[in-house]
Structure 1
């Protein structure tokens, strides 16, 4: 099958299959998987035009709603956190899209930028995962989560209720300065301005790369703000969806200004990727609470480091 905008040939079953596998595992960490699909398109399919970033964001638009729906249904969406992420990343992703087509249209330069982004995400996660446990008898985050879930289910059973019908997240405080919520009875709190600032910076990087920013922002929420991955996943995915809609729209709007380049997305390829991603994200969101958080993080780290290393080698080759 020929994709005219991308200028490539590919079997029609391949993009949705790859997107399904990638999104199934990545959605468990609050990531759409777009950061891996972009290397797949560039390195495997040979799609290196600037429009690959727009196509990647269109994948997010098609695929993410199914995963978000599952998190909403299970009561694991922290809506105030979600809205701060959206408001912060939205202007950033538009700036990033402009930077992509103006300063990084060359595939070789863009790969080096992508390698830096992926390596930074991976190394930060590795650092957090390899921190030695303090010898004070405190439980790990994973053990703590399992205890919270068990307590939640025991309490629901004692009250004669189905634990799956009780919301996992309850809001405690929501204002311009601070947001606080409880997850299975454990309280988490953060300053709104910190989340907003991080979201804006991440939006710029995500706009350049064409990922919406979920792959960058989710690890920061977990490692820097101390929020559980089981609650940030929905917010990160929802923020990625909204900013991806804005990113695709912006790429389409500026396409006429760059007639010598392919800027607008390849709709057919993006749709095929999105269909596979839609199924994978729904199943991934459903299975997330049954998979250890650390396993998800290590899986992300290995893939990120491998991809980053590959791009660095290609840049200096």
Structure 2
């Protein structure tokens, strides 16, 4: 029944956002396999539905981070300038090039596997406590590439940008709010892009509004809770859990694509 599917989406959104918001990941990257395998959202509709989840769930964690004064305007601006045009390109590619489910799983695995390994990689040296490390132009160029991936995969890019920026020497407390802010803005643009593309294309391209809104409402609460928990959770534990989950999902997609 429809309400049962939405209830599952709400609970999954709540759990994943609670676990991922502390490290700047919206949770959409882990919601996607649930959409495909449990909720049976058709392909490529899963991508804009994931972006809709980001739009609804994002303000919860961001509000908490903003109240603690953790948002770095310069870093957020560098990420948004790159991610926004990237997600539009990714949306177009998703509809016209990467519409086959097998190809999509391979692309998803190619994104998740290195991301998971990067999260699991031991960090060297101290942690930077301010938004410095990579130059702003480099951050913007990186965000452009990740934006394209985000448009293809429906993740907003935070699950890729977060580990990369932390790996460059920034603290999770600096990266997490900025990554979530760029994810929110990018996802709004992505949802609009897919909605526009759906007007001239057959099939399921627009978001599954019911699933996206239900999961997003769960993520709204979970994101706020996760952001509140961040100062009390060991960074090492969070990194390992996220890294292992990303690698496991990538392996699952590779097996399914055979």
TM norm structure 2: 0.95
CA distance in 1, matches of 2:102, 2:192: 25
Structure 2 unpaired stretches of 5+:
none
The correspondence for 1:104, drawn from 98, 106, 119, is 98
CA distance in 1, matches of 2:132, 2:88: 31
Write out per-residue CA displacement over residues 44-69 of structure 1, whole angstroms, 9 at most, x where no aligned residue: 22223211100110010000011101
CA distance in 2, matches of 1:235, 1:103: 30
Q: Could you say which structure has the higher strand fraction?
A: 1
CA distance in 1, matches of 2:160, 2:226: 19
> How far did residue 189 of structure 1 move?
4.5
> How far did residue 187 of structure 1 move?
7.8
Task: Say which is worse superposed, 10-19 or 88-97, in terms of deviation.
Answer: 10-19
Residue 19 of structure 2 is matched in structure 1 by 25
Alpha carbons 2:6, 2:210 under 8 Å: kept? no
The correspondence for 1:232, drawn from 159, 170, 175, is 175
Q: Which secondary structure does the structure 1 equivalent of 2:66 belong to? A: helix
> How far did residue 188 of structure 1 move?
3.7
Structure 1 unpaired stretches of 5+:
3-8, 142-181
The correspondence for 2:65, drawn from 71, 75, 78, is 71
CA distance in 2, matches of 1:125, 1:23: 17
Alpha carbons 2:82, 2:141 under 8 Å: kept? yes
Residue 148 of structure 1 is matched in structure 2 by none
**How well do the aligned residues superpose, as a CA RMSD in angstroms?**
1.6
Residue 164 of structure 2 is matched in structure 1 by 220
> How far did residue 109 of structure 1 move?
1.3
CA distance in 1, matches of 2:208, 2:5: 15
- Within 5 Å, which residues of 2 pair with 1:221-300? 221-223=165-167, 225-259=168-202, 261-300=203-242
TM norm structure 1: 0.78
The correspondence for 1:211, drawn from 155, 159, 179, is 155
CA distance in 2, matches of 1:25, 1:230: 15
Aligned length: 258
Q: Based on CA coordinates, which of the two structures has the bigger radius of gyration?
A: 1
